[in-house]
Amino acid sequence: MLTLKDCMDYCDITDDEVDLLAEHDHIPAEVAVQLACSLVQTREGVRKICISLSELASDAIVDGRLDKAEHVLHVYAQFRSAHPLAH
């Protein structure tokens, strides 16, 4: 039986990426894992994750939550590095 961590490892996504995608889409982390695993399989899916992370960072900046924005931008940079289709 595969665990969610097995799926994340297979798809090369991190806990932070999943948590932020769940936050952006207002869905449980378990659903976000499945969504992210599906999205990273295509160029358009990777772009959608990038857009979600970018929107979260922008919202945090607008709200004055600079620590949050810095965290999201760090996760975003790591995601782009791991998923070059986003470039």
Which tens digits make up the pLDDT trace of 6-27? Answer: 777 788 899 999 999 999 999 9
pTM of structure: 0.89
Q: What pLDDT, on a 0 to 100 scale, did the predictor assign at position 48?
A: 96
> For residue 2, is it within any domain?
no
Q: What pLDDT, on a 0 to 100 scale, did the predictor assign at position 86?
A: 45
CA 47 to chain centre: 10
Tokens read off for 11: 């798809």
Q: What percent of the chain has pLDDT over 70?
A: 97
For the chain, give the mean pLDDT: 91
**For the chain, how many structural domains are there in total?**
1
Average pLDDT of span 25-47 = 94
Kindly report each contact of residues 61-65 with a partner whose C-beta sits within 8 Å and lies 24 or more positions away, as own/partner: none
> For residue 79, is it within any domain?
yes
For residue 58, what are the domain limits? 7-86
Average pLDDT of span 52-64 = 97
Q: How far apart are CA 69 and CA 36, in angstroms?
A: 21
